[in-house]
Structure 1
């Protein structure tokens, strides 16, 4: 193995995470309640992007910690609250949602992230839509 190739490999392993393209991205959440007249479209930010992962084909040769598959996840979150218009008095018209301030590559935490690989189209409105700009 040439010294240049070995040095390139070591550099890539050491600084691979810095090349990750994981950052807050604009996203629209659609929120509606059965009792309310309108669907609310909320502009927010989520964590999205590419994170370096390791090939697990050599799992017998590597430490267990080297086999983790990183995802783009939240580093810092703020929560904001929006008012859903057209709700009757007996209904709580507020909806709290996360806003990604910063992101990181790490293990997916199911306490605050959806770690499912399959994409299901559920982010849409069935009622007239109102836009919420925070």
Structure 2
């Protein structure tokens, strides 16, 4: 067997180098290109909270939740109630439920904890069946 010197990389090596270069130039999927301070709309975003209930220890959970700002306005009118309003909130459009077990539960306590995972979010009317809505001040 004789070794032959070639000037430059082989075609398969060139392909591998181009592939690696292409991957390295891809944007990081964890870095958002959206300026969140100026974002108007509703989107799914990762969120961490402490799940707890009486008789059990807490558990930090990272899930997808709805986040954003939606168009809202009020204008005066001459008829009661003297204000016409258009109020939308960023809320769940589609979810799935996930159940976990909380740690260190006292004997006889149910350790299960169920929470929603956002699959799709939209600006919509606030429904008290799924969202904590402030209706009066």
How far off its partner does 1:59 sit?
Answer: 3.5
More helix by share: 1
Structure 1 outlier segments of 4+, above 6 Å:
none
- Contact 1:59 1:67 survives alignment (8 Å): no
Secondary structure of 1:109's match? coil
How far off its partner does 1:86 sit?
Answer: 1.5
Give, in whole Å, the separation in 1 of the partners of 2:78 and 2:72: 17
Q: CA RMSD in A?
A: 2.3
Scaled by the length of structure 2, what TM-score is found? 0.59
- Contact 2:75 2:85 survives alignment (8 Å): no
| Corresponding residue pairs, total | 93
Matching residue of 2:97: 79
Larger Rg over CA atoms: 2
* Greater relative contact order, per chain length (Cα 8 Å cut-off, separation 6+): 1
How far off its partner does 1:84 sit?
Answer: 0.4
Matching residue of 1:41: 60
